[in-house]
Amino acid sequence: MIMDALACPACKATMTRKVSQQTASGVIKQGSLYCEQCEKDVATIRHGKVDFLRIEPLTPPAGASLCGEFHYKRIPWSDEAVSALHCHEVDVGWNAEGFTGCLQAGSTPDWRIYIDTEAVDLSLRFLSHDWSGCVAVTVNDGAATIIDLHSAGANGVNAYEIYRDLQGQKKITIKPAAANPLSRGEQIYFFGMDAVFSGWPAAIGGNRGNGFPAAYQWVLDHSGPDALVLDCGSGDRKYPDQRVVSFEYMPFELPDVFGDGHALPFSDGVFDAVFSQAVMEHMRNPYLAAREIARVLKPGGLVYVESAFMQPLHAVPYHFFNTTTWGIEAIFGDADVTGETSEWFGPISASVDWYLNACGGGGLSPAEREQLRQLFLKIDENVSYEQLKPIASAVSFWGIKAGASSVWKELLATGGKPSFKYTLAQTSVQAPPPVINTNSGLPDKSGAYRRLRSAIRKIRGKVHA
């Protein structure tokens, strides 16, 4: 179903499938997509994932080979299948592999990394840069494969294939090899492995990113069994429903298709609905991205978007445009998508906590920070939904593509869709009515405002540009 929806991102033409290996049920395990109009391979199919960004050279055999059903898994360095000698953990923070940290080899030649696995295909993920060394990899004490990790002028985590279609239990040993003389060092950073196992996956779906909005399930509950829905910019997650195609830019484990949101690799009018959560602020040209979403949507199809408003800088350096409700309506209105309803959400206390994290805590002690959090929780209790609008963390948008009568319009009006609207009675226990301090004209909640002002002054004095 996904393959039938794909198109060349450059010219939107259909593509020829060059299959190297597939299952009896027709799922392509290895292969590529060739565009006759562009006269080149425009995507690589690896482990059943279609990648329009990281295109690898592939020479298919004379006849495509059959393989059994399989499932792909990205396994971190910290998995129980991995053990090490004279290596240590390094906290490099969150990374594009979908995990945190990595394993750094020791500075002496007796370090080792061991992996016990039943994977039939295996690739190892190492950091490659100017200071990288070489490793020797053996499988079950066989001949060593030498991998030169040095990459002049580049810095990234790459996957290096060790074997393919090898059955049975394997013990992998990784040890140092003679370094490339062009390298500035012999550093080895191991991030984990790409593994393919025989058999069906235990379950469809998974999530290492933002939680799925309630809107997703509501849309799917009102969609037919043959509907096709795009999660555009899914992050490292896969919604547990076969009707949802996960599309992402970063090379995570869980998405189905990888590409650029400014040039979606899908045919015109193939999706019944499109989701986009926390993506539009990261698009260089959100107007173009919205037009692409509208292009792949069927006439009368539904769009659901969540976008940052008062959130601080994140996903550096790919954070470009925060939007108001009017902004997100204008972006999609330009794409001929009619806005049906827009909302806003995100309590002030959560935003302030994010601000403090972004600026290193502002010099507050843990006790002071907790006191500040409690003050803003009290503010949350007394801020109505309408009062939240100028300072909400994010906005949401429901829209319908023009061109056909749509059942979504009536459903949005009467179908009980999820909503962020609330009344003060729906928040936590209410504080007593505030007493107005006539000197400031602001609520004086038993000294809460004075304490808040004092905390803000302290932060202002410690945070410098």
Backbone angles phi, psi at 181, to 5 degrees: -60, -20
Give the C-alpha separation, 305 to 215, whole Å. 10
Q: For 339-374, what is each residue's pLDDT tens digit?
A: 999 999 999 999 999 999 999 998 999 999 999 999
- What does the block give as tokens for 460? 């202002």
Instruction: Give the rounded percent of residues in the chain with a pLDDT score beyond 90.
Output: 78
Task: Look at residue 286 and give its three-state secondary structure.
Answer: helix
Band the pLDDT of 97: cuts 50, 70, 90. Answer: low
Question: What's the whole-model pTM score?
Answer: 0.88
Name which of 218, 128, 123 is nearest 164 in CA terms. 123
Give the C-alpha separation, 227 to 211, whole Å. 22
Residue 455 has pLDDT above 70, yes or no: no
Band the pLDDT of 445: cuts 50, 70, 90. Answer: very low
pLDDT value at position 82?
97
Read off the pLDDT of each residue in 254-279 and give the average, rounded to a whole number: 98
**Could you tell me if 51 and 38 are in contact, meaning their C-beta atoms sit under 8 angstroms apart?**
no
Lowest mean pLDDT of 226-235, 267-276, 415-424, 448-457, name the range.
Answer: 448-457
Element (H, E) at 239: none
- What does the block give as tokens for 390? 């100028």
**Going by DSSP bridges, is the β-strand pair 170-177/112-117 parallel, antiparallel, or unpaired?**
antiparallel
Band the pLDDT of 426: cuts 50, 70, 90. Answer: confident
**Could you tell me if 303 and 401 are in contact, meaning their C-beta atoms sit under 8 angstroms apart?**
yes
pLDDT value at position 348?
95
Q: Looking at per-residue confidence, does 338 or 65 come out higher?
A: 338
Read off the pLDDT of each residue in 447-464 and give the average, rounded to a whole number: 50
Chain mean pLDDT for the chain: 89
Give the C-alpha separation, 266 to 263, whole Å. 9
**Cα–Cα distance list, 169 to 2, 120, 197, 268, 382 (Å):** 33, 9, 11, 46, 61
Residue 439 has pLDDT above 60, yes or no: no
Between the CA atoms of 355, 360, 361 and 363, what dihedral angle is there, to the nearest 10 degrees?
A: -140
pLDDT value at position 65?
87
Band the pLDDT of 94: cuts 50, 70, 90. Answer: low
pLDDT value at position 195?
97
- What does the block give as tokens for 363? 């010099």
Read off the pLDDT of each residue in 20-35 and give the average, rounded to a whole number: 93
Residue 442 has pLDDT above 50, yes or no: no
Residue 32 has pLDDT above 80, yes or no: yes
Lowest mean pLDDT of 45-54, 88-97, 108-117, name the range.
Answer: 88-97
Residue 268 has pLDDT above 80, yes or no: yes
How does DSSP classify residue 143? P
Residue 446 has pLDDT above 70, yes or no: no
* Residue that the structure tokens 């393959």 belong to: 3
Q: Looking at per-residue confidence, does 379 or 457 come out higher?
A: 379
pLDDT value at position 58?
66
pLDDT value at position 62?
57
Residue 278 CA neighbour count, 13 Å, CB half = 17
Residue 428 has pLDDT above 80, yes or no: no
Residue 430 has pLDDT above 90, yes or no: no
**Going by DSSP bridges, is the β-strand pair 257-258/244-248 parallel, antiparallel, or unpaired?**
parallel
pLDDT value at position 449?
44
pLDDT value at position 457?
52
pLDDT value at position 155?
86
Residue 454 has pLDDT above 80, yes or no: no
Band the pLDDT of 100: cuts 50, 70, 90. Answer: confident
- What does the block give as tokens for 32? 């590529």
**Could you tell me if 276 and 233 are in contact, meaning their C-beta atoms sit under 8 angstroms apart?**
yes
Residue 234 has pLDDT above 50, yes or no: yes
pLDDT value at position 64?
74
pLDDT value at position 465?
39
How does DSSP classify residue 125? E
Lowest mean pLDDT of 61-65, 182-186, 245-249, 435-439, name the range.
Answer: 435-439
Can you list the domains of the chain with their CATH numbers? 2-69 (no CATH), 74-198 (2.60.120.260), 206-346+392-426 (3.40.50.150)
Name which of 164, 160, 145, 168 is nearest 192 in CA terms. 160
Residue type, 347: P
**Cα–Cα distance list, 3 to 8, 49, 72, 233 (Å):** 12, 10, 18, 18
* Residue that the structure tokens 């909005």 belong to: 213
Give the C-alpha separation, 102 to 118, whole Å. 22
Buried b (16+ CB within 10 A) or exposed e, 131-162: bbbbbebebeeeeebebbbbbeeeeebbbbeb
Residue 11 has pLDDT above 60, yes or no: yes
Read off the pLDDT of each residue in 190-199 and give the average, rounded to a whole number: 95
Residue 81 has pLDDT above 90, yes or no: yes
Name which of 94, 97, 154 is nearest 124 in CA terms. 97
Give the C-alpha separation, 85 to 83, whole Å. 7
**Could you tell me if 106 and 175 are in contact, meaning their C-beta atoms sit under 8 angstroms apart?**
no
Band the pLDDT of 159: cuts 50, 70, 90. Answer: very high
Burial of 313 (0-12, 13-18, 19+ CB in 10 A): exposed
User: For the chain, what percentages of helix, strand and coil (3-state, to nearest 5) are there?
Assistant: 20, 35, 45
pLDDT value at position 431?
36
